Amino acid sequence: MRTKTHWFQSETARHPEEVGRAAAVRAWRGATSAVRTLAEDGPITDRSGGHLALVQELLLFAVQYTDRMTWLRGLEQETRRRLVEAMIKRLADGVGENAGDREAGNAFLARAGERLDEYAGVAYRQEDPGFPAYNILGARGCQTADRPEDLWLHGRLAEVEGPELIADLRPVVDGLLANLQAEAGGSSALPTG
């Protein structure tokens, strides 16, 4: 799958909200693709709506990764907050639309805060989430799919789908952040030098 990592008008400064919404679109594509692959390779859920619930866990993993990338790049706290908030809101809208229930989007928003707190305590190895973060993804994904003891699903999420989602998302986030500009004075929101 070809991924666009740059804007059509790259010379135009982008606001954090635009970058967050664009990252949300890419995360949605990656998460739904991962769940389709899982569904083709084996039974991943026995309940109605289980696929969307698993997509949501992958989306939350993508959000925490994007948040961590912005932090590692030294974005100002307010810029980072606005970007991540816009990403989460756009994903919550998508969850609500796909579930046919706005409350599903609100539940996603509530769970996002919990997951970000949970992932915040995990140390990264440079830009790689590493085993502890992937392990949380596997465990939460199994709980979400109502298969808490499913070692195959846990392993696939932690060892295959999670790393593939990050490998797909990393260049996109890098490209989007390259066009991020602070609102004051049009200077870059990223540190230079």
80/67 Cα distance (integer angstroms): 7
159 vs 30, 36, 55, 132, 163, CA distance in Å? 15, 16, 17, 11, 6
Residue 29 in tokens: 């594509």
DSSP assigned state of 124: P
The per-residue pLDDT for 7 is 47
Contacts of 26 (CB under 8 A, 6+ apart): 3, 168, 169, 172, 173
Name the average pLDDT for the chain: 85
The per-residue pLDDT for 49 is 65
* pLDDT digits 0-9 by tens, 92-114: 999 999 888 889 999 999 999 99
Is the confidence at residue 169, as pLDDT, over 90?
A: yes
Is the confidence at residue 15, as pLDDT, over 60?
A: yes
193/119 Cα distance (integer angstroms): 29
* pLDDT digits 0-9 by tens, 45-76: 655 567 888 999 999 999 999 999 999 989 99
Residue 88 in tokens: 């989460």
The per-residue pLDDT for 17 is 93
CA-based radius of gyration for the chain: 16
* pLDDT digits 0-9 by tens, 120-147: 999 888 888 989 999 999 999 999 888 8
Is the confidence at residue 10, as pLDDT, over 60?
A: no
Q: Are 40 and 157 in contact (CB under 8 A)?
A: no
- pTM for this prediction: 0.86
Q: Which of 9-13, 73-77, 84-88 has the highest mean pLDDT?
A: 84-88
68/51 Cα distance (integer angstroms): 26
